[in-house]
Amino acid sequence: MLKAKVASNQEWGIDRTVYIPYTVAQRLSGDNRIDTINIKAKGTEESAQVAVQLKRIFYKIYRRPDSVYVMSRDDMLKQVAEMNRVMTLMLGAIAGISLVVGGIGIMNIMLVSVSERTREIGIRKAVGAKNDQILGQFLIEAVILSAAGGVIGIVLGSGASFLIRRFGPPTAVTPSSILYSFVFALLVGVISGVWPAAKAAKLDPTDALR
């Protein structure tokens, strides 16, 4: 059973919260100051009113509006929502840059492949291969490259999530996020392979065999 006067040391949520008497916390930390007080209102509607009353009480004690910072649950939710929005934008920007860089890399690899296999393309066309068959071949190769990169990224991301979950805040890799990541990887492969594949399909067999 907890006593009436307790202090809490919170990290990464309520599941890892430790409740100890505040006198023990002061003795362990060597600091007699109390810098945080958590107050629970009777109802969610009263949270903002309690915050206003606390500001008035502390202002009467210290006579300085900035002496104590009071944050209601609504304020905390707004801050968390803003942090999530910023993090989402940052991660989206990083993901977008990664996709562009990866797409350019796949495109360059396929262009090099087309230039090195010019004679092969000419021979295939000479024996009757159609343009759409050449186009499909190089598109499939680009998609395979992109899919391999997507699988490696999913494995590395899942491993990083596992390590973070063991040593830090809880994280999760959902099946939907894996599916979306893999689909995006395939789309990048298709988009990046269109130009090299079209270039290969348009090669003149006579020029390619020279």
Q: State pLDDT tens for residues 74-120.
A: 777 888 889 889 988 998 898 889 888 989 999 999 999 998 988 89
Q: How far apart are CA 46 and CA 142, in angstroms?
A: 59
- d(CA 184, CA 190) in angstroms, rounded, equals 10
Q: Are 42 and 53 in contact (CB under 8 A)?
A: no
Work out the pLDDT band at 26, boundaries 50, 70, 90: confident
- Give 171's contacts (C-beta < 8 A, 6+ positions apart): 161, 164, 165
Q: What is the pTM of this model?
A: 0.63
Q: How do residues 29-73 score in pLDDT, each as one tens digit?
A: 777 777 777 777 776 667 777 777 888 887 777 777 666 777 777
Neighbour count for residue 106 (Cβ, 10 Å): 24
What pLDDT, in 10s, does the model give residues 152-172?
988 988 888 888 878 777 777
